[in-house]
Structure 1
Amino acid sequence: EILLAAFDPTRIPEVYVQNEKWDGVDSSEIDYTTLEALPVSFDGSGLYSLSTKGMKLGQYQYRGVIRYQGPDGTMQSQDFTTPIFTVADPGLVVSPTAMNVFYRGMENPVKISVPGFSNDKITATISGGHKITRKADGSYIVVPKKSSSFKEAEAFISVTGKMPDGSTAQLGREKFRVRVLPNPEPEWAARRAQNKTISENDILAFAPIAAKLDDFLFDVKVSPKSFTLLIRNKGQWSELKSGNQQLTPDMKSILQKARRGDLIFFNDIVVPMPDGTERILNMKLKVG
């Protein structure tokens, strides 16, 4: 609301507000001829309103001018500025994508907003030696520290805000769980343990052993670094080791002899994970 304290009620003042946000520096004369006058009531007050839809978050202030008829009958002008106001998200939100869970080894996206504060006026920190970083769009990324432990841990995000007088206020904190990634599933020649069987033709493709994490929030790519092949052929057991995910020549030679009813075991499949842990996986298939 813009109010002229004293005026002649028979001569209603004219009130104009610039459309552009004031930079706090410009003091040039306002060209009111390009602006639309605000409606002014009988008591001399003018109401300025604007929609914040589509406006970026942050603080705003505008310049304006009041034109009124002075005692000598000439038109006079008085510049003014609107109070500073903040365009902010309509509620305190600290929300990860996974129900208050952060996964180790992943860039966990987080949105943080506080009513009355623009993103550039708030600061977020995280406990436990984890890392939180603000992105250009105002959102955050949390990267928990890597650990060889499988235990669930806790982390707290604390938010502070910069007040108009320059002081800092504590705005609260939220608790989160920090977890390791779930186990991937071993896969060989597009077959998994739940498939139970594999054909002789699929065996002869000599595919590398793989590990996949399906139906998870993040796109996680992992590769086994070693495994053991155990196969029973004609009642005889053969055990061979590989130092990567590829079949060795000896493994291929043994697998060429596999026939219907033989059992193939992939044991001790060691898979390094982005969270700092290693998983030991196993899989059994029957030649069918």
Structure 2
Amino acid sequence: MYINPDSPRQKMINLMYIVLMALLALNVSSDVLNGFSLVDESLSRTTANSTVQNNALFQELAGANRQNPEKVGPWYEKAAHVKAMADSLYRYVDELKLRIVQEADGDDGDVAHIENREDLEAASYVMLAPTRGEGKELYNRINRFRETMLSYVGDPVQQQIIRENLSTTVPNSFQAAGKNWQEYIFENTPVAAAVTLLTKLQSDVRYAEGEVLHLLTQNTDVQDVRVNQLQAYVIPTSQNVVRGGTYSARIILAAVDSTQRPAIYIGGQRQPDNKEGWYETVCNRTGEFSLNGYLELTQGNGDTLRRPFEQKYTVVEPSATVSATLMNVLYAGYDNPISISVPGIPASQVQATLANGNGTLRRQGNGYIARPANIGKDAVIRVTAQVNGRTQSMGDYTYRVRQLPDPSPFIEYPDKGTPKRYRGGTGLPKAVLMNTPGIVAAIDDGLLNINFRVLGFETVFFDNMGNAVPEVSAGASFSARQKEMFRRLSRGKRFYISRVRAVGPDGVERTLPTTLEVIVN
């Protein structure tokens, strides 16, 4: 319980302490000593009340620690340390009071009924004896307790009150006389006054203990009213779930600290406890669904807070996007680029295979390379993905397998550093023709660009009588005989390149049906 330093009780204690110290400087009478007993009784009652209040505050902290040790634990441990120090010092002072009274009244001495209240030797003997005096030990204990309490208090006003109440500073006039704190307090002090001073010390100990316990309690929010704008939320990893996949959602209570875990109820059933509030269920049917339930949270005052929640989600059929990068069919014996993706799934978690064994499918860069083996047998691409830690089928996709189409023959020559292909039908400068080593063959239709290796071809010239003069080349290069025929050609003359034999990347050798007409310009 917090004690206001400016309360009438505290002011009364301070005033009595001032009066007590003033009286100690006088040669007091028996009536005045009776007054000390009255002050001691009042201080004892006040201290007892403070003890009860402090114990209640500590028990409240202990209860909160049992409910939420993760949050309250560190503060409870500090409070336990504070209480242990205060109780230890309090009991030690109680022992000193009893020893002083027994020194004055004998072994049967009773602190509550002091007979030799005016005895000036008892307190000095117990507290100041050269080898067995307890004054130095009390001085050290007060200093340790004071500094520990100050380490927990940040408010300057509270610090000043605790520092003054538990001060062991000797006034300058007594310092000049060479007295230390224990001599200043207990030398030639009547038993009644010494006991009252020690009771006042116990009261100050309980006051400091209460201040720190109150501060530690505030730090745990034990007595705070919880916010009244709490709402329950469901945070799914995705609102679209593939059939057969897993719906995952995080169910949280907004505006509550992460150390207080609410109980989750779905369909009236309490879900297993987990720190992050995850809920998962396998989705075997497509359509729209709703996750309904409520959260329950026990507040600091013991009341139960309940908040309902609802979250809609959609379950869809498995789907994937599969497209041939360059063509609508797959060509046998050729590396066909394939792009495969699944909406909402990272590429690294998507896998694809040729399900029916017709060739190979391998990952390359951000895509795949399909190389079917058999013409006329479909290639079935099977797509799977890792969804929530399990392999999920995304469907099979069938492609027809065809042979690569026949290429076309070209005469390739450089034009200002850029390769240019002569396709026939127009004039070709004779100088270009003479400097060209041979012909090439390729599929070059704007969609595919696939080079073939030329194995041989035939050129057909016509003499002045109109007779056909064929010349055969072994390989892709013009033969010497063919070059000689080129030199004899005049402007406007033409010849034909035919019977071109070529082999493509699929390893299939073919004779091209296309004839290339060359017109000499």
Band of TM-score, shorter chain: 0.5 to 0.7
Which amino acid counterpart does residue 241 of structure 1 have in structure 2? V
Whole-angstrom distance in 2 between the partners of 1:234 and 1:206 = 26
Whole-angstrom distance in 2 between the partners of 1:41 and 1:122 = 47
Whole-angstrom distance in 2 between the partners of 1:136 and 1:246 = 37
Which of the two has greater strand per residue?
Answer: 1
Whole-angstrom distance in 1 between the partners of 2:468 and 2:347 = 68
Q: Of residues 91, 103, 116 in structure 1, which corresponds to 2:331? A: 103
Partner of 1:6 in structure 2? Answer: none
Is 2:322 the partner of 1:94? yes
Matches within 5 A, 1:18-33: none
Partner of 1:157 in structure 2? Answer: 381
Is 2:476 the partner of 1:245? yes
Whether the aligned pair in 2 keeps the contact of 1:233 and 1:257 (CA below 8 Å) is no
Whether the aligned pair in 2 keeps the contact of 1:233 and 1:262 (CA below 8 Å) is no
Q: Of residues 71, 80, 85 in structure 1, which corresponds to 2:276? A: 80
Q: Offset of 1:186 from its aligned partner?
A: 1.3
* Higher-RCO chain (CA-CA 8 Å, sequence separation at least 6): 1
Whether the aligned pair in 2 keeps the contact of 1:96 and 1:110 (CA below 8 Å) is yes
In structure 2, list runs of 5 or more residues that go unmatched: 1-226, 240-246, 262-273, 282-317, 414-420
In structure 1, list runs of 5 or more residues that go unmatched: 1-38, 53-58, 70-77
- Mark the CA change 1:207 to 1:163 in structure 2 (over 3 Å): closer, same or farther: closer
Q: Offset of 1:61 from its aligned partner?
A: 9.6
Whole-angstrom distance in 2 between the partners of 1:216 and 1:110 = 19
Which amino acid counterpart does residue 68 of structure 1 have in structure 2? Q
Q: Offset of 1:111 from its aligned partner?
A: 0.8
Q: Offset of 1:241 from its aligned partner?
A: 1.6
Say which SS state the counterpart of residue 194 (structure 1) adopts.
Answer: coil
Q: Deviations over 1:141-185 (max 9, x none)?
A: 21122x6xxx6542222234567686x665431211222233322
Is 2:427 the partner of 1:204? no
Whether the aligned pair in 1 keeps the contact of 2:236 and 2:248 (CA below 8 Å) is no
Partner of 2:259 in structure 1? Answer: 67
Q: Of residues 232, 240, 244 in structure 2, which corresponds to 1:45? A: 232
Q: Of residues 395, 402, 410 in structure 2, which corresponds to 1:179? A: 402
Whole-angstrom distance in 2 between the partners of 1:239 and 1:83 = 82
Whether the aligned pair in 2 keeps the contact of 1:162 and 1:169 (CA below 8 Å) is yes
Whether the aligned pair in 1 keeps the contact of 2:319 and 2:394 (CA below 8 Å) is no
Q: State the structure with more CA Rg.
A: 2
| Aligned-residue identity in percent | 20
Partner of 1:284 in structure 2? Answer: 517
Say which SS state the counterpart of residue 202 (structure 1) adopts.
Answer: helix
Matches within 5 A, 1:206-221: 206-221=436-451
Deviates further, 97-106 or 156-165: 156-165
Whether the aligned pair in 1 keeps the contact of 2:502 and 2:511 (CA below 8 Å) is yes
- Mark the CA change 1:140 to 1:241 in structure 2 (over 3 Å): closer, same or farther: same
Say which SS state the counterpart of residue 358 (structure 2) adopts.
Answer: coil
Whole-angstrom distance in 2 between the partners of 1:220 and 1:228 = 22
Say which SS state the counterpart of residue 256 (structure 1) adopts.
Answer: helix
Whether the aligned pair in 2 keeps the contact of 1:102 and 1:108 (CA below 8 Å) is no
- Mark the CA change 1:94 to 1:217 in structure 2 (over 3 Å): closer, same or farther: same
Which amino acid counterpart does residue 276 of structure 2 have in structure 1? F
- Mark the CA change 1:200 to 1:93 in structure 2 (over 3 Å): closer, same or farther: closer
Q: Offset of 1:244 from its aligned partner?
A: 1.2
Whole-angstrom distance in 2 between the partners of 1:180 and 1:216 = 18
Q: Of residues 455, 466, 485 in structure 2, which corresponds to 1:225? A: 455
Whether the aligned pair in 2 keeps the contact of 1:227 and 1:244 (CA below 8 Å) is yes
Whole-angstrom distance in 2 between the partners of 1:219 and 1:84 = 50
Whole-angstrom distance in 2 between the partners of 1:183 and 1:61 = 56
- Mark the CA change 1:118 to 1:260 in structure 2 (over 3 Å): closer, same or farther: closer
Partner of 2:23 in structure 1? Answer: none
Whole-angstrom distance in 2 between the partners of 1:50 and 1:169 = 16
- Mark the CA change 1:203 to 1:40 in structure 2 (over 3 Å): closer, same or farther: farther
State the TM-score, normalizing by the size of structure 2: 0.36
Whether the aligned pair in 1 keeps the contact of 2:442 and 2:449 (CA below 8 Å) is no
Partner of 1:264 in structure 2? Answer: 495
Which amino acid counterpart does residue 478 of structure 2 have in structure 1? L
Q: Offset of 1:81 from its aligned partner?
A: 5.5
Whole-angstrom distance in 2 between the partners of 1:94 and 1:210 = 34
Whole-angstrom distance in 2 between the partners of 1:266 and 1:246 = 12
State the TM-score, normalizing by the size of structure 1: 0.61
Say which SS state the counterpart of residue 481 (structure 2) adopts.
Answer: helix
- Mark the CA change 1:204 to 1:140 in structure 2 (over 3 Å): closer, same or farther: closer
Q: Offset of 1:240 from its aligned partner?
A: 1.9
- Mark the CA change 1:244 to 1:113 in structure 2 (over 3 Å): closer, same or farther: same
Q: Deviations over 1:164-220 (max 9, x none)?
A: 686x6654312112222333221225432333x434333332441122332343432
Which of the two has greater helix per residue?
Answer: 2
Say which SS state the counterpart of residue 79 (structure 1) adopts.
Answer: coil
- Mark the CA change 1:49 to 1:153 in structure 2 (over 3 Å): closer, same or farther: closer
- Mark the CA change 1:123 to 1:47 in structure 2 (over 3 Å): closer, same or farther: same
